[in-house]
Amino acid sequence: MDHYIPLVSIIGLALLFDFLNGMNDAANSVATVVATRVLPPRVAVAWAAFFNFAAVFLFGTAVAKTIGKGVVRPDVVDNAFVASALIGAVTWTWLCTRYGLPISVSHSLIGGMTGVAITKGGLSAVIWWPGIGRIALFIILAPFIGMILGSILMLLCLIAFKKSNPYRVDRIFRGLQLFSAAFYSLGHGANDAQKVAGLITALLIANNLLPKETEIPWWVLILCYGTIALGTLLGGWRVIRTLGIKVTKLQPIGGFCAETAGGLTLVLTATSGIPVSTTHTITGAIMGVGSIKRISAVRWGVAWHIVLAWITTIPACALLAAFAFVIWKHLLTKIF
């Protein structure tokens, strides 16, 4: 079945997923800086895109290695496996971006890989621990870490500037938000672009184009980081509106705290090889910042719709990818 699916087509599909990742997750990188009107939308996404790409030179490949070898058994990975997993992930990501839902694009890929692995090799084809188990653990932990850090930073800043002139505070944090947005974008690039790089590397190994024990090739990293940066540059504007405006109203001081808290979480997990959701992280941080003012400042109804999208992402993508794999297995082989 594999020879009916050209390798270049699957790499193209992986880059399409990477591009959509950048579009959906553009909101994560720029929602706060747009909401506080520190930068106009087009300038904000260009700023985020630059630092998304710059991350390739600053961080290792720990997350890429986790995706390439730590989620499913390497022996089940072939062209049909990767293509089916990507179809499930791309379909779900496109639908959610279309309707303005900030999902975890990372978990859509993991869901797709899990669905195909179980369909192809049974439950034993999935590396449940530490692979899926650790990822599942951070589905819960990532937003809470972001929320706690965001709350602490916001509280400290409010205490530190309690007696300062509000206009002066606003002006200070407008400048600081440029750095916090850049920092968050570095963390986003380090975490998300590596996931596609790991998948492409696993595909190249499965096609005997790379040795089994190999580092992620530089050309793969540059390609993946460049593609996610391009997706960020074009931006998923509906998702940006959901995160930047609908969840809670932010001032520059809150935007700075949310971005810094999210960036810290992403950098720490990326260097530890834990593929967390950038969406979960920044949403939790925004909620934490908003709740410091008052609990009612967070629009919990909007937050619930976001959480519902998170919960359904992995099973939905697993089903979509499994269906794509079955179609290939039973229909294409008969046709050809």
The partner residues of 126 in beta bridges, in order of sequence, read: 72
Inter-CA distances, 47 with 172, 187, 232, Å: 19, 14, 10
- Residues 231-248 pLDDT 10s: 877 765 555 555 555 555
4 or 102: whose pLDDT is higher? 102
- Residues 271-302 pLDDT 10s: 777 777 777 787 788 778 877 766 544 555 55
pLDDT at position 320: 94
- d(CA 25, CA 6) in angstroms, rounded, equals 29
pLDDT at position 70: 75
For 99, phi then psi, to 5°, come to -100, 15
Inter-CA distances, 276 with 75, 140, 191, 263, Å: 25, 10, 7, 12
| Residue type at position 153 | L
For 204, phi then psi, to 5°, come to -65, -40
Could you tell me the pLDDT band of residue 156, with boundaries at 50, 70 and 90?
Answer: very high
pLDDT at position 293: 67
Tokens of 91: 């379909």
Could you tell me the pLDDT band of residue 325, with boundaries at 50, 70 and 90?
Answer: very high
18 contacts 193 by C-beta, under 8 angstroms: yes
Note the Cα 102 to chain centre separation in Å.
10
- d(CA 335, CA 30) in angstroms, rounded, equals 47
**Which H/E stretch holds residue 165?**
none
- d(CA 138, CA 316) in angstroms, rounded, equals 19
Nearest to 202 by CA among 324, 85, 46: 85
- d(CA 90, CA 231) in angstroms, rounded, equals 13
pLDDT at position 305: 62
Residue bearing tokens 């959610």: 96
pLDDT at position 312: 83
279 or 12: whose pLDDT is higher? 12
Mean pLDDT of the 187-202 span: 81
pLDDT at position 50: 86
